[in-house]
Structure 1
């Protein structure tokens, strides 16, 4: 039986076009996936998923492709078109909206939101969710997450109101040291004038977002959207009545959260449970 690779659609996006280019040159050179894998040092299964845009393509692969095909820097140059295209399709639209938001309201039920994660914490979270991915793929995903944090460092940054479930503080991610350093960073971020950080304690009871996470975004022109996310998927809502409902539920949730001062005290107490850790200056 002759193996037929999955059909490609170069017009579906930059990463799809990049993958189609890999396959076209590979097949034009009479190479199988195994042949190319031997030249670039990647597993052929992973290469296949690069071609079909099912996996983000790591930057380190580009010069290896140029060497394998003799394309004199073509793939390195083309990589600039997909550098920001490392997010799954269902995340990409949200990330684009997030980058233009002037106001963000977030609730996270299980982990620190990506915009507030340390690199070590992000690496532990992403690796746990992608156990079969190569190290370079995980690093590319971490780099993409870290790059989003520049939004909070802009000259005119968005206002961020984040409510974290108490479970976020109690779950050890990576190691006790990594989690302690993450909580330390939360306290530092909470000192910024454009950030409000609150904790929803366990004793607050049931609420509308148990088991999920929510982000509400407002654009400069008044456009709003809501993004509901679970561990492996997410959905963006733009319909005004749907966004209104999510905003109302979020407002109800906030009434049960601790004040920013009480929240900081709970975060500091959680840090002490992990290990002695120098607190940021108050």
Structure 2
């Protein structure tokens, strides 16, 4: 078995180290990209993009590469590359850093499934709907979003509370099976001791956060910050007065929402009523 190289050697980014290791392993194996593609059932152009740092590839493909090369560290490098924030806007990099450090996260979602609760299929469909994007970039964005969810399973188990507008449950994926899988995933995640999910019925009408996807983060230094997002932009809110104003609106929503048990019943009802076949 090839020795595992030190992933921290040199001053390169996680994405660069990952790409270099892919190229080095193939070179040591003395195999062409086409032959490698045949061996791991992947497109050779996609594999080339991975070796040149233009794509990450899926976690399943990376595990297949580990099996092929007889290694165990490629998936570790892939995970580090997926968490690499260098490809994101500076403002979003700041938010993601704070998110990874937060002791507790409370979110209100007005229309879309929160990123921390999305299945891979939901994330892919949502990112595709945002606009034209090549397959490699799309795969990278999906991988990065899935990697964010690791924080919910950390040893210290930060608290995550999500208040979902009923509109989230009324906007399904095109594929009924993928939508049922997303709702089933929502129920499964809600069973975790550090996760609580509430649903706000549409019948309760307008409120202070009707069009504002909002995340509150409790940080180790005692501060609370918020991140508000629309379909076109996001803003980190750090001023205590502005955060408090948003917080009061959030607390009102939590107070009028269904209880976690009632919310779970509603999610289950939507899952059971979801069609089994796509519309003609």
Q: TM-score scaled to structure 2, two decimals?
A: 0.69
Q: Is contact 2:105-2:216 (8 Å) kept? A: yes
2:256 alignment partner, SS class: coil
How far, CA to CA, are the matches of 2:105 and 2:49 in structure 1? 35
Is the counterpart of residue 63 in structure 1 residue 48 in structure 2? Answer: no
1:255 alignment partner, SS class: helix
Q: Is contact 2:83-2:148 (8 Å) kept? A: no
1:94 alignment partner, SS class: helix
How many angstroms does 1:104 deviate by?
0.6
2:103 alignment partner, SS class: strand
Is the counterpart of residue 129 in structure 1 residue 130 in structure 2? Answer: yes
Q: Is contact 2:215-2:226 (8 Å) kept? A: yes
How far, CA to CA, are the matches of 1:178 and 1:235 in structure 2? 31
Q: Is contact 1:237-1:243 (8 Å) kept? A: yes
Alignment of 1:140-179 (within 5 A): 140-179=140-179
How many angstroms does 1:106 deviate by?
0.3
Relative to structure 1, the CA distance from residue 175 to residue 89 in structure 2 (aligned partners, 3 Å threshold; closer, same or farther) is: farther
How many angstroms does 1:192 deviate by?
0.8
Is the counterpart of residue 113 in structure 1 residue 114 in structure 2? Answer: yes
Q: Which aligned runs of 4 or more in structure 1 are off by greater than 4 angstroms?
A: 79-82
Provide the residue aligned with 2:249 in structure 1. 249
How far, CA to CA, are the matches of 1:169 and 1:82 in structure 2? 29
How many angstroms does 1:204 deviate by?
1.2
How many angstroms does 1:269 deviate by?
0.4
How far, CA to CA, are the matches of 2:259 and 2:53 in structure 1? 53
How many angstroms does 1:59 deviate by?
8.9
Q: Is contact 2:82-2:144 (8 Å) kept? A: no
Relative to structure 1, the CA distance from residue 80 to residue 99 in structure 2 (aligned partners, 3 Å threshold; closer, same or farther) is: closer
1:236 alignment partner, SS class: strand
How many angstroms does 1:90 deviate by?
3.4
Q: Could you say what the CA RMSD is over the residues aligned between the two structures, in angstroms?
A: 2.7
Is the counterpart of residue 261 in structure 1 residue 249 in structure 2? Answer: no
Alignment of 1:76-87 (within 5 A): 83-87=84-88
Q: Is contact 2:159-2:194 (8 Å) kept? A: yes
Provide the residue aligned with 2:6 in structure 1. none
Alignment of 1:1-282 (within 5 A): 61=49, 63-64=51-52, 83-130=84-131, 132-275=132-275
Relative to structure 1, the CA distance from residue 60 to residue 249 in structure 2 (aligned partners, 3 Å threshold; closer, same or farther) is: farther
Relative to structure 1, the CA distance from residue 136 to residue 120 in structure 2 (aligned partners, 3 Å threshold; closer, same or farther) is: same
What are the ranges of 5 or more consecutive residues in structure 1 without an aligned counterpart?
1-13, 19-57, 67-76, 277-282
- 1:116-171 per-residue CA deviation (whole Å, 9 max, x = no partner) reads 111011101111113x2101101100000000000001011110110001011111
Q: Is contact 2:123-2:142 (8 Å) kept? A: yes
Relative to structure 1, the CA distance from residue 222 to residue 83 in structure 2 (aligned partners, 3 Å threshold; closer, same or farther) is: closer
2:184 alignment partner, SS class: helix
Q: Is contact 1:119-1:146 (8 Å) kept? A: yes
Count, aligned residues:
211
